[in-house]
């Protein structure tokens, strides 16, 4: 069959690479793709938000399965649009994608389903929100462990973690009055700040059966030691020893299963990737947020380890017959993915810098360089985004996988290239 992957990041390169390995797959198309997907698949110059054109393309090229990478087209109803035309697609409907698209929807669902999460309140009036904060924390100097979140999608930036009352009031002002995240700030969630370590637990579900993937850990802050501004994720590794087998079963039973059931009860059955962003606290795992897609960069080390035919699994999920797929098979070796970024990221960054050394890195054993923000210019691979590459390696231990990933990183260069040096150290410490 022919497969279409929607998106242009490292996650989509990993998906295309893995799907292309399937004996069932004849051709993989990626819309719009990057310089990496151009090698392993066929790039299609169509924007992700032009559903009629994407549908027309899928029809014309006999695409039997479409796989959606990012959240925006899911929140905009790409799955509903494809299904309405009788096309098979893997991902949640617009109604189900609200789990990521609305923090209020997500928190209310978690509360109704009795899934552990931070205590919270919802506000639509900033004055009322500020009044609440001042009344509850009358002492300006005291510690105020609160998190302020814009309800809607804000490219991962709509969450402000605070420890002082003035920070909370400023966050409310920015989100709800200044509307720095636009309409996403029409409603606010104010919740208690949780302390602990974060982990990502993803599952593939058809709405009835859940296949839980091994736990992973992302690195969101830009700089070593988790300092600096938040990014889309500077690296990830899998499995994360922080979540052992017992805890993973607990998360499946007390987080994922009740969520899938609650979505069904709401009339929005969830099919696709259910990604729980968790804080492992002293009281156990609590949900920070849900995403409705593969994580980027978590997808890269996950798929590096997957031995089962991904096309078969996603097709089964899209057809509601995941119960007939046996468990997934994983490479026992851990994988580490180091993101190489452009100078200036996550702020403004330059584009168009030629990347050297990709072939040297690709020649190393157990290494795969996934492209994210890359493009082809006159036959040259150049930078075109903030997160440029996801250099991923397998190893007999996390330490060995880390060493191999950084050996590959050293082969690659362009002016201003940088990365975190401590990806996966949390697992080692």
Which residues contribute to the site for ligand AMP (CB under 6 A)?
A: 118, 147, 156, 159, 161, 191, 193-194, 198, 220, 277, 288-289
Residues that bind ligand GLY (CB under 6 A): 156, 218, 233, 291, 295-296, 298
Q: What is the greatest pairwise CA distance in the chain?
A: 65
Name the minimum Å distance from CB 155 to ligand GLY: 10
Place of tokens 């150290």: 425
Name the minimum Å distance from CB 368 to ligand AMP: 26
345, 411, 413 from 356: Cα distances, Å: 20, 8, 5
3-state SS, 349-378, equals CCCCCECECHHHHHCCCCEEEEECCEEEEC
Residues 6+ apart with CB under 8 A from 300: 10, 11, 14, 236, 335, 337, 368, 370, 390, 392
Name the minimum Å distance from CB 126 to ligand AMP: 19
DSSP string, 308-359: S-HHHHHHHHHTT-GGGS----B-SS-EEEEEEE-TTTTSS----PBPB-HH
Q: Which does residue 161 bind out of ligand GLY, ligand AMP, none, counting CB within 5 to 8 angstroms by kind? A: ligand AMP
Place of tokens 């100097």: 141
**Local structure of residue 225 (DSSP, 8 states):** G
Q: Which does residue 309 bind out of ligand AMP, ligand GLY, none, counting CB within 5 to 8 angstroms by kind? A: none
Name the minimum Å distance from CB 422 to ligand GLY: 17
Name the minimum Å distance from CB 137 to ligand GLY: 30
Q: Which does residue 288 bind out of ligand AMP, ligand GLY, none, counting CB within 5 to 8 angstroms by kind? A: ligand AMP
Q: Which does residue 325 bind out of ligand AMP, ligand GLY, none, counting CB within 5 to 8 angstroms by kind? A: none
Nearer to ligand AMP, 81 or 147 (CB): 147
Q: Which does residue 159 bind out of ligand GLY, ligand AMP, none, counting CB within 5 to 8 angstroms by kind? A: ligand AMP
Nearer to ligand AMP, 18 or 219 (CB): 219
Name the minimum Å distance from CB 290 to ligand GLY: 10
> What is the distance between the alpha carbons of residues 318 and 83, in angstroms, rounded to a whole number?
11
Name the minimum Å distance from CB 100 to ligand AMP: 9
> What is the distance between the alpha carbons of residues 120 and 111, in angstroms, rounded to a whole number?
10
Q: Which does residue 122 bind out of ligand GLY, ligand AMP, none, counting CB within 5 to 8 angstroms by kind? A: none
> What is the distance between the alpha carbons of residues 50 and 37, in angstroms, rounded to a whole number?
20
Nearer to ligand AMP, 2 or 281 (CB): 281
Q: Which does residue 71 bind out of ligand AMP, ligand GLY, none, counting CB within 5 to 8 angstroms by kind? A: none
Q: Which two tokens stand for residue 97?
A: 């994608």
Nearer to ligand AMP, 48 or 159 (CB): 159
Nearer to ligand GLY, 206 or 218 (CB): 218
Give phi and psi for 226, each to the nearest 5: 60, 40
Contact 98, 105 (CB under 8 A): yes
In terms of residues, how long is the chain?
Answer: 429
Residue 339's Cβ-count burial label (10 Å; 0-12, 13-18, 19+) is: buried
> What is the distance between the alpha carbons of residues 208 and 206, in angstroms, rounded to a whole number?
6
Name the minimum Å distance from CB 26 to ligand AMP: 38
Q: Which does residue 151 bind out of ligand AMP, ligand GLY, none, counting CB within 5 to 8 angstroms by kind? A: none
Q: 3-state DSSP call for residue 400?
A: helix
Name the minimum Å distance from CB 133 to ligand AMP: 15
Q: Which does residue 118 bind out of ligand GLY, ligand AMP, none, counting CB within 5 to 8 angstroms by kind? A: ligand AMP
């Amino acid at each position: 069959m022919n497969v279409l992957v929607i998106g242009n990041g490292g996650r989509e390169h990993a998906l295309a690479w893995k799907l292309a390995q399937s004996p069932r797959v004849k051709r993989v198309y990626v819309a719009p793709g990057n310089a990496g997907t151009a090698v392993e698949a066929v790039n299609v110059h169509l924007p992700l938000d032009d559903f009629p054109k994407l549908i027309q393309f899928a029809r014309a090229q006999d695409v039997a399965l479409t796989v959606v990478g990012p959240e925006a087209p899911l929140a905009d109803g790409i799955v509903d649009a494809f299904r309405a035309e009788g096309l098979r697609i893997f991902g949640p409907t617009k109604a189900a994608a609200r789990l990521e698209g609305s923090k209020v929807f997500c928190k209310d669902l978690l509360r109704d389903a009795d899934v552990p999460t931070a205590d919270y309140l919802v506000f639509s009036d900033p004055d009322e929100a500020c009044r609440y904060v001042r009344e509850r924390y009358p002492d300006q100097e005291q510690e105020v462990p609160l998190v302020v979140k814009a309800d809607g999608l804000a490219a991962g930036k709509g969450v402000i973690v605070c420890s002082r009352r003035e920070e909370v009031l400023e966050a409310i002002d920015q989100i709800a009055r200044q509307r720095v995240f636009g309409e996403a700030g029409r409603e606010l969630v104010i919740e208690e700040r949780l302390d602990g370590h974060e982990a990502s637990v993803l599952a593939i579900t058809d709405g009835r059966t859940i296949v839980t993937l091994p736990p992973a850990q992302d690195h969101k802050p830009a700089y070593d030691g988790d300092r600096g501004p938040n990014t889309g994720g500077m690296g990830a590794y899998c499995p994360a020893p922080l979540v052992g087998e017992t805890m993973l079963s607990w998360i499946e039973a007390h987080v994922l299963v009740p969520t899938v059931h609650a979505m069904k009860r709401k009339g929005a059955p969830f099919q696709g990737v259910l990604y729980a962003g968790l804080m492992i606290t002293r009281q156990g795992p609590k949900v920070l947020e849900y995403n409705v897609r593969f994580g980027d960069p978590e997808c890269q080390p996950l798929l590096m380890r997957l031995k089962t035919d991904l096309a078969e699994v996603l097709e089964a999920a899209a057809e509601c017959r995941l119960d007939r797929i046996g468990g997934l098979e994983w490479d026992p070796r851990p994988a580490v993915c180091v993101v190489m970024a452009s100078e200036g990221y996550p702020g403004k960054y330059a584009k168009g810098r030629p990347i050297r050394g990709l072939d040297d890195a690709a020649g190393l054993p157990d290494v795969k360089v996934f492209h994210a923000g890359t493009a082809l210019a006159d036959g040259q691979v150049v930078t075109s985004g903030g997160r440029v590459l996801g250099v991923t390696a397998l190893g007999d231990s996390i330490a060995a996988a880390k060493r191999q990933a950084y050996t590959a990183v050293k082969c690659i260069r362009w002016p201003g290239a940088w990365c975190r040096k401590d990806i996966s150290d949390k697992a080692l410490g």
